[in-house]
Amino acid sequence: MDAQFQRAGFHEERVEECHGSILHLQCLKGCDLPPWSAAQTAVSVDVETLRAAEPLPACPRCGGLARPNILMFGDLGWDSSRANEQRERLAEWLEELGQRRARVVVLCLGAGTAIPSVRFHAERTARRLGGALIRINPRDTWVPTGQICLESGALAGLSAIEAALAQG
């Protein structure tokens, strides 16, 4: 949702954003235009009121107001089409890994328990592929039996894994 994977260099086609993306917009009127890139959209914020200043983002098809393509709590208007395509690509790749009987390690970084969808997905994937789950989280440390949790931040946890691999 926050585009951190893309900023870290992951190709757009290799990322699943199950709750949408701040880098994409959607039409509030629901005019059937699929979510589009927000790259050319700048929103100014009034520092006094902390509200967005005019002009607000608009749909290029109908001119209606646009919003971030992110799933909010109780959101019945979220356009999930982009996330659905990403989910399908991931499912195809995971199926391919399963058919090849690939040895899989699922890294779950910073996924908390307040909105556990990412945690559950990581656990299901590791279980389905017979792989290992390594969760890195400073607070929410529970993992299924036989799996690993590093009680730390993401950078420290990944650095510890890298150091352990370097030692052999």
CB atoms under 10 Å from CB of 22, counted, come to: 13
Decide if pLDDT at 106 tops 80: yes
Could you give the residue ranges of the DSSP H alpha helices within the chain?
4-7, 81-100, 117-129, 154-167
Closest residue by Cα to residue 21 from 7, 1, 37, 6: 1
Decide if pLDDT at 53 tops 80: yes
Q: What span, in angstroms and rounded, lies between the C-alpha atoms of 113 and 99? A: 31
Q: What span, in angstroms and rounded, lies between the C-alpha atoms of 112 and 48? A: 33
Decide if pLDDT at 1 tops 80: no
Q: Per-residue pLDDT averaged across 17-33, rounded?
A: 93
Query: pLDDT tens digit string along 116-166?
Result: 999 999 999 999 999 999 999 999 999 999 999 999 999 999 999 999 999
Structure tokens at 44: 């100014």
Question: Rounded mean pLDDT of the chain?
Answer: 94
pTM above threshold 0.75: yes
At residue 25 the predicted structure's pLDDT band, cuts being 50, 70 and 90, is very high
The region that residue 67 occupies, defined by phi over 0 for left and psi between -120 and 50 for alpha, beta otherwise, is: beta
β-pair partners for 106: 133
User: Contact, 35 vs 18, CB < 8 A?
Assistant: no
Structure tokens at 151: 């009680």
β-pair partners for 67: 26
Q: What span, in angstroms and rounded, lies between the C-alpha atoms of 163 and 168? A: 9
Of residues 110 and 130, more confidently modeled: 130
Q: How many residues does the chain have?
A: 168
Indicate the domain borders of the chain.
Answer: 1-95, 103-167
